[in-house]
């Protein structure tokens, strides 16, 4: 089922440039490759969102946050870094 889309002058120029360069044989090839990349990106975003939701739920399940002294926390980070550097 053929479709027709208006992608604007900028992208029309890009498609033409890619075909004229010989990198792609046709505008359809450019569009299919572009859609494959978009599909990949959307799958990655979905996986990242699932992971973020899991981490959020794990954080909520871990209990109430504890108060910490910022100076002590910073000192402990510096000590850890110094220990790794040795």
Residue range 10-34, pLDDT digits in tens: 999 999 999 999 999 999 999 999 9
Whether the per-residue pLDDT at 1 is higher than 90: the answer is no
Asked if residues 18 and 30 have their Cβ atoms less than 8 Å apart, the reply is yes
| 31-79 per-position pLDDT tens digit | 999 999 999 999 999 999 999 999 999 999 999 988 999 999 999 999 9
Residue 85: its pLDDT value, please?
81
The alpha-helical segments, DSSP class H, found in 1-86 are: 8-20, 27-61, 70-85
Residue 86: its pLDDT value, please?
63
């Amino acid at each position: 089922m053929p479709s027709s889309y208006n992608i604007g002058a900028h992208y029309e120029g890009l498609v033409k440039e890619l075909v004229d360069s010989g990198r792609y044989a046709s505008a359809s090839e450019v569009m299919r490759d572009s859609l494959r990349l978009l599909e990949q990106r959307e799958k990655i975003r979905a996986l990242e969102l699932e992971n973020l939701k899991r981490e959020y739920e794990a954080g909520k399940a871990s209990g109430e946050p504890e108060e910490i002294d910022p100076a002590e926390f910073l000192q402990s980070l510096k000590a850890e870094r110094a220990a790794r550097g040795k």
